[in-house]
Amino acid sequence: MVKNYFKIAWRNLVKKKAYSVINIFGLGLGMACCFLIFMFVQDELSYDNYHEKGDRIYRVIHGYKSAKDSEESAKANPFWVWGNAPIGPALRQDFPEIEKVVQFSGRADILLTYEDKIYQEDGVFFMDSTAFDVFSWPLVRGNPKTVLAAPYSIVLTESTAKKYFGDADPIGKALHGSESAGRSNAGDYTVTGIMKDVPSNSHFRFNALLSMSTFKKSRPEIFDEWGYVDSYTYFLVKDQFNEAAFKQKIPAFLTRVQKDPNYTIGIEPLKNVYLRTFAERQPGETGSLPNIYVFSIIGIFILVIAIINFMNLATARSMERGKEVGIRKSIGAERSSLIFQFLGESFLIVFLSMMVAALIVFVALPYMIDFTGKQLVVLRFVNWQTIPFMIGGMLLIGLVAGSYPALVLSGFRPALVLKGVTRSTAGGINLRRGLVIFQFSLSIALIAGTIIVYSQMNQLLDKDLGFDKERMLVLDYNYDEAVNRKSQVLKTEMESIPAVLSSAFSRSVPGSHFPNAGTEIQGADGEMKGLGQPIFQVGIDFITHFGLKLVAGRSYSREFPSDSTSALVVNEAAAKQYGYTNPADIVGKKFDQWGRKGVVIGVVKDFNFISLHRTIEPLTLPFEAYASRYMTLKIKTENIPGTIQEIKAVWSRLVPHRPFLYSFLDDDFNRQYQSDFIFRRLFTTFACLAIFIACLGLLGLATYTAELRTKEIGIRKVLGADVRNIIALLSSDFIKLVLIAIVIATPISWYAMNQWLESFAYKMEIRLWIFAVAGLVALFIAAFTISFQSVKAALMNPVTSLRSE
């Protein structure tokens, strides 16, 4: 009997090839899209899960208590992951539930040299020797207890070791390291260990680890300073750790160990640091939980749309199987056996769709990897844990997609069916209409979402940031003192190149890392007021070079030699921070910052030196000639490759010991939006695929509707109806359904996308025209899809349709 059911199912698939292709390909495409999205979401959710002790790892976040317990004051006083060093030993001493503490520095970009190989490594941290006791980073060579114990020890990842030493054994060999920012650590580092490359699903990654004892040897004083920020603190707790009880002990602990009543700390479990953190100054990248929800919903939408297609076509075609059901019932077939038969046919289609889905995934995976930049491997997601879920999912899809058609077909009354009474019930017609409305509501919501995502990203790219970022070539020399000593010579030589318009030196550029500084500025009452804010240490030409606008006072000038030691420029937000609503009022006020004292000489108009996800923060721009990391050149647009070669020649002649590392400022700044660009690409791609799948179902349904009404169309044509009348007749029902879908989708998509826009400080306004355009696009797509079959039916010879039986 089962073999017979299989033969009948196969013959039905072969007999109606068009419907079979639409069903199998549409469902397979939906499954493939859902699986690709599942891979992306699972990769995002898997961050840091590879640590064997991950459920016992926490980290410290640092903050200052808000003046008022309100949302606004909390935003003004965010927590940082980057903080002071003394907190680690203090926690270890006071809390017996802490088993190990591991601390590491802020990222220490460093120039490493071995023989003739010179690279500026931009993924290096000074790390405690307890790192390998806490984190699961497998060592290929070396003792995990000692590799980071001695000063001037270095542990390399396998790829970094290969870069310097090839296939030779690097253990015991020395790499010469230059000094990095704020750390007097130049010297020869002995390779003591080789470790596996850090997995891609880690919230921070690195190429090499330097021993923290090296940093302590060069700057011992900062490890006792509660106000010096340059450490990340993670710790491993013992089993049965009570997080709530631990947090309750923090206030008393802070009162014992330090004097600042406003300073506070919190803790975050490792499982939360990638997707659920709210702290700033992360050691690496973070993800977006709202984006994960959006992608998951899109994946479900696509699969639901594909299942709806299957149900619509199966129920619409049910009357063709009416006589078969009538004969089976009249010779004794029970309803349960008929349900089993038709569910079996459903499972067969689902199985074939799974095969199509596997093929689509195989073809599409390289593009998905290119889209996301992730290392997505199918075998990583298909294992003994996920296979039962996949089989269960396939059975569930077959059951959901096939249950209604099976119940409808098995419920036919044989006496009526064998008399030819096989009309669709009103319930079946309404169900199909409801499913079409539902899937097009989803499609319209996705179209509107795509327009909003593109508009928001274009706003980010096109917004006037308040500084000149076009044609800016940034040379990174990582604070090299030898380069800073030659800064004036470099400036003169570079600006002698005809294509170079101007140049400037600075410690930070917009979009790059910047420190924060405690700064005292005289208030309106004459008292010194101490606050903290970001700091850009800049050269004398920085403000004019970047086109920053002065709203009060003046910029730094060579006509005032004292500017190098006793002058300060701030932005408008900093002036407001100190209580001056009129920027001109802060000019001439005294300041004290990092050992420099003098007066504020100017105020620049606020400019977006950080991502547009955040509002403009208070900023000070002290003049510092010898603490720079970057040389920025404004160049002409003609023959950029030739200009770069000229600049490289000057660089190699004046500072031959430094590699020539350059980038363009606009590219660097836009790199902050990399995750947003990935979101846009994925959202748009899968939204288009969802719409395409919906149209497949609509095409199949329109084709079947036209077949059912073949005789009606023939009669109408004989009675004088023209092609336009026939097309309008066949299209009007579907167009009405799409119009209803527009009404349903508009408020839903408005709410969903408004929630997504909340993550941007500068967000577009959602206007009604977006939903009008989305609706028109959906109408056009639906009309185009239906018209193909409608025109074909309208052009059919009525003689042929009326004589066929």
pLDDT, one tens digit per residue, over 73-110 is 444 568 999 999 999 999 999 999 999 999 999 888 88
Task: Answer with the one of 660, 690, 706 that is the final residue of a domain.
Answer: 660
Type of residue at 417? V
Buried b (16+ CB within 10 A) or exposed e, 639-673: eeeebbebbeebbeeebeebebeeebbbebbbebb
Lowest-pLDDT choice from 621-625, 685-689, 708-712, 752-756? 708-712
In a domain, 532, yes or no: yes
135 and 29 share one domain:
no
- Tell me if 693 sits within 8 A of 309, measured CB to CB: yes
Give residues with Cβ within 8 angstroms of 394, minimum separation 6: 350, 351, 354
Residue 318 — very low, low, confident or very high, per pLDDT cuts 50/70/90? low
Residue 69 — very low, low, confident or very high, per pLDDT cuts 50/70/90? very low
3-state SS class at 82: coil
| Residue 70 clears pLDDT 50, i.e. is over it | no
685 and 756 share one domain:
yes
Residues 578-604: tens digit of each pLDDT: 999 999 999 999 999 988 999 999 999
The number of helix segments (H) and strand segments (E) in the chain equals 27, 23
The answer, as to whether pTM is greater than 0.75, is yes
Residues 422-476: tens digit of each pLDDT: 555 555 567 777 877 887 888 888 889 889 988 888 888 888 899 999 899 999 9
What is the model's pLDDT at position 182? 55
What is the model's pLDDT at position 165? 94
Interval 775-794 mean pLDDT: 74
3-state SS class at 569: strand
Type of residue at 84? N
Lowest-pLDDT choice from 302-311, 429-438, 507-516, 790-799? 790-799
Q: Which residue has the higher pLDDT, 228 or 620?
A: 620
**DSSP for residue 659:** -
691 and 768 share one domain:
yes
Hunting for tokens 């108009």 — which residue is that?
A: 605
| Residue 377 clears pLDDT 90, i.e. is over it | no
| Residue 405 clears pLDDT 70, i.e. is over it | no
In a domain, 181, yes or no: yes
- Tell me if 312 sits within 8 A of 697, measured CB to CB: yes
- Tell me if 784 sits within 8 A of 727, measured CB to CB: no
What is the model's pLDDT at position 347? 81
In a domain, 669, yes or no: no
149 and 226 share one domain:
yes
**CA atoms of 752 and 340, how far apart (whole Å):** 41
In a domain, 74, yes or no: yes
User: What is the average pLDDT value for the chain, to the nearest integer?
Assistant: 85
Interval 514-538 mean pLDDT: 89
**CA atoms of 242 and 239, how far apart (whole Å):** 9
| Residue 383 clears pLDDT 80, i.e. is over it | no
Lowest-pLDDT choice from 174-183, 291-300, 671-680, 719-728? 719-728
3-state SS class at 591: strand
**DSSP for residue 616:** P
263 and 121 share one domain:
yes
What is the model's pLDDT at position 74? 44
| Residue 131 clears pLDDT 60, i.e. is over it | yes
Nearest to 42 by CA among 385, 322, 358, 320: 385
Interval 48-67 mean pLDDT: 88
Distance of CA 479 to the CA centre of its chain: 31
In a domain, 473, yes or no: no
What is the model's pLDDT at position 794? 62
99 and 239 share one domain:
yes
135 and 185 share one domain:
yes
Question: 231 phi and psi, to 5 degrees?
Answer: -140, 145
Task: Answer with the one of 221, 242, 272 that is the final residue of a domain.
Answer: 272
* Domain count within the chain: 3
| Residue 420 clears pLDDT 60, i.e. is over it | no
Q: Which tokens hold the place of 688?
A: 């288009």
Hunting for tokens 């009675």 — which residue is that?
A: 719
533 and 644 share one domain:
yes
Buried b (16+ CB within 10 A) or exposed e, 469-499: bebbbbbbbbbbeebbeebeebbebbeebeb
144 and 212 share one domain:
yes
In a domain, 119, yes or no: yes
Task: Answer with the one of 660, 688, 710 that is the final residue of a domain.
Answer: 660
What is the model's pLDDT at position 185? 66
**DSSP for residue 83:** B
Alpha helices, H only, 709-722: 710-718
Type of residue at 748? I
23 and 68 share one domain:
no
690 and 795 share one domain:
yes
Q: Which helix (H) or strand (E) holds 479?
A: none
Half-sphere exposure in the Cβ direction for 54 (13 Å, CA): 16
What is the model's pLDDT at position 416? 60
Question: 5 phi and psi, to 5 degrees?
Answer: -60, -40
- Tell me if 128 sits within 8 A of 103, measured CB to CB: yes
**DSSP for residue 623:** B
CA-to-CA separations, 728 to 64, 363, 709, 790, in angstroms, rounded: 68, 40, 14, 8
In a domain, 668, yes or no: no
Structural domain range at position 224: 54-272
- Tell me if 211 sits within 8 A of 126, measured CB to CB: yes
What is the model's pLDDT at position 697? 73
| Residue 68 clears pLDDT 60, i.e. is over it | no
In a domain, 729, yes or no: yes
**DSSP for residue 437:** H
63 and 28 share one domain:
no
Provide the percentage of residues in the chain whose pLDDT is more than 70: 84
3-state SS class at 370: helix
